[in-house]
Amino acid sequence: MGSISLWNSAKKIITAAVITVAVSDRIVTVVPVRGGSMSPTFNPKTGSWMEETFDDHVLVEKFCLGNYKFSRGDVVVFRSPLNHKETMIKRIAGLPGEWIGTEHNNDVIQIPSGHCWVEGDNTASSMDSKSFGPIPLALIRGRVTHILWPPQRRGSVKRTPQQGLSSNQLDPN
């Protein structure tokens, strides 16, 4: 009788593991935010030892990946175009077909089809499209919707940065 109960327990554990992997792969996942490139939206330095000790952990939804449904201002998780093993979190500053003025070389570029322009909210400490150019939409792993940890910062993520994006989006008209 004990082996039947052990087998039933094992089936439940395996089923739960498969469901967890499927949900994480296709629907939502939780990721830690490392570094200060998105401060003050994530990992703000307030002087409190609690907030300086722990990284923010965020909820990432993946429904947007079906038809690449993104908007300017969305915070996205994506694979680095320079190292596909590295994951980055930045805000979309420009969408395919839009014109972006870059500050570092006073250049104006049109974002190619199938790409977007991403920037960190903390421009002084962000490696983003100003460094590596537009990123392919296919590198995006999902959209950040909520801060889950630490508990005192729990809440939804706003589409607009607290201090504004650094690049100049240009109106071609």
Give me the active site residues, please: 37, 90
Q: In this structure, are residues 74 and 159 in contact, taking their beta carbons and an 8 Å threshold?
A: yes
Q: Taking the CB of residue 112, how many other CB atoms lie within 10 A of it? A: 12
Q: Is 133 exposed, middle or buried (0-12, 13-18, 19+ CB in 10 A)?
A: middle
Q: In this structure, are residues 157 and 41 in contact, taking their beta carbons and an 8 Å threshold?
A: yes
